[in-house]
Amino acid sequence: MTGQNVQGTVAAGFEPVREEFAAILAAEGAGLDAQVAAYHQGELVVDLWAGPETTRDSLLGIYSASKGVTHLIVALLVQDGVLDLDQRVSHYWPEFAAEGKGDLLLRQLLSHQAGLVGTDAGFSMAELADDQLVAGRLAAQAPFWRPGTASGYHALVMAALSGEVVRRVTGQRVQDLLGPLLRDRYQLDLHFGLPASEDHRFLSAQPMAVTPERLRALAATVTAPGSLSGIAFNRHHPDNHEVWELPNLPVIRSQGPASFGGVGTARALARLYSAAISPTDGAAPLLTPATAAAFAQVQYAGWDLVLRQHKAWAVGFHPSSELYPSLGAGAFGHSGAGGQQALADPRNQLSYAFLRRRFLYPPQADADHDRMLRALHTALNAAH
């Protein structure tokens, strides 16, 4: 795939980003639908897309990048004094105290330390789409490790937990707050619960392109359905689907579970993270520098019991500079399965989002984002 297949615009000086995007697409072969966007100091500097069906306004599943959107809402509530990161979760949600979970702090919950990666029985897809039902089941569940002593990725349920805290203090679901707090305020093409009238713009997710080498590598990482990883990804339930399929399920797309059910554009995610750290349309940033720094601060670094690798967690986000060395300290965001990424770099006043339709071979994702972010910083440095 050559550069002429890439559509969209870049600001003067950001041409290297277009070239890197084209190179990544070429390496994956023809037919890849993808979008990438970036803002600098509140201005859109990269707005690109490619693929046989993708347009500027095509909607793609954002998978776990949904968690980052949810936790921007949590950050706003903390900033406004409605929530306190050092308060016990059970203070807001008394039922959560069952089975020895009463002392877990909100900041520990948001850094995947609760030990509630799923339930013993698992969930049907209809149940998993209902955050309030999921939260109720998890409140009654005995944790899989002593809360606060270890961390493991709460892949499909994290924002059901944090979203229930939000619902307890505001009376509204994350899905209901997204519009007035974020989407309407910044004109974002971003949805937790895609309206039927917009469903025609959604591009169904596609499975990973497999090779014998990839299949062998993936087979070496497979764990039993009843393992901690299996429970976290709901593989022990007979109604489970592969992760890549989740946005394609009407019940997931229409209800928009806040952990993984968001649908949107790369431009919307990049604008949201830009608004979080930079003045937008004459208004102050969504987050104060102190709030952004507090949520970007590492809370846990060590062995992740679910992902079975070293992992660092900030407050509801990835500490993004750990993954991408070109970013400044204090960068934060959240990836999504299959190669999605959205983040903010406050020191460089930069935001970035990349969405793709075809599920990506997991080890490749961070390398691709690192290439794109290095190209962005090359452009920024050249401008200065």
Lowest mean pLDDT among 26-35, 105-114, 127-136: 26-35
277: left (phi over 0), alpha (psi -120 to 50) or beta: alpha
* pLDDT confidence tier of residue 384, bands split at 50, 70 and 90: low
* Tokens encoding 315: 């407050």
Looking at the chain, the whole-number percentage of residues with pLDDT higher than 70 is 98
Q: So what's the pLDDT on residue 275?
A: 98
Dist CA 353 CA 65 (whole Å): 10
DSSP codes joined into one string, 98-166: GGGTTT-BHHHHHTT-SS-SS-SS---HHHHT-HHHHHHHHHHSPPSS-TTS-B---TTTHHHHHHHHH
Residue 339 has pLDDT above 70, yes or no: yes
Residue type, 358: R
pLDDT digits (tens, 9 = 90+) for 41-54: 999 999 999 999 99
**Beta pairing class for 190-191 and 340-345:** unpaired
β-bridge mates for residue 39, sequence order: 44, 351
**Whose structure tokens read 């394609």?**
248
Q: So what's the pLDDT on residue 30?
A: 67
Nearest CA among 181, 208, 238 for reference residue 358: 208
* Tokens encoding 225: 């359905």
Dist CA 184 CA 206 (whole Å): 30
CATH of domain 3-62+188-207+248-383: 3.40.710.10
Residue 350 has pLDDT above 60, yes or no: yes
Q: Sketch the domain layout of the chain as residue ranges.
A: 3-62+188-207+248-383
Dist CA 99 CA 111 (whole Å): 20
* pLDDT confidence tier of residue 327, bands split at 50, 70 and 90: very high
Q: So what's the pLDDT on residue 214?
A: 76
pLDDT digits (tens, 9 = 90+) for 361-379: 777 889 999 999 999 999 9
pLDDT digits (tens, 9 = 90+) for 129-150: 999 999 999 999 999 999 999 9
pTM confidence score: 0.96
What average pLDDT is seen over the chain? 95
Lowest mean pLDDT among 201-205, 219-223, 271-275, 341-345: 219-223
Residue 1 has pLDDT above 60, yes or no: no
* Tokens encoding 75: 């950050």
* Tokens encoding 69: 């959107």
* Tokens encoding 140: 């009654």
Q: Are 80 and 268 in contact (CB under 8 A)?
A: no
Residue 351 has pLDDT above 50, yes or no: yes
pLDDT digits (tens, 9 = 90+) for 184-227: 999 999 999 999 999 999 999 999 887 888 777 777 778 999 99
Q: So what's the pLDDT on residue 166?
A: 98
Alpha helix locations (H) across 225-265?
Answer: 228-232, 250-255
Residue 302 has pLDDT above 60, yes or no: yes
What is the number of other CB atoms lying within 10 angstroms of the CB of residue 194?
23
Dist CA 282 CA 279 (whole Å): 6
Q: So what's the pLDDT on residue 245?
A: 97
Distances (CA, A) of 138 to 118, 121, 132: 7, 11, 10
Q: Are 154 and 114 in contact (CB under 8 A)?
A: yes
* Nearest-10 Cα torsion for 121, 127, 130, 131: 10
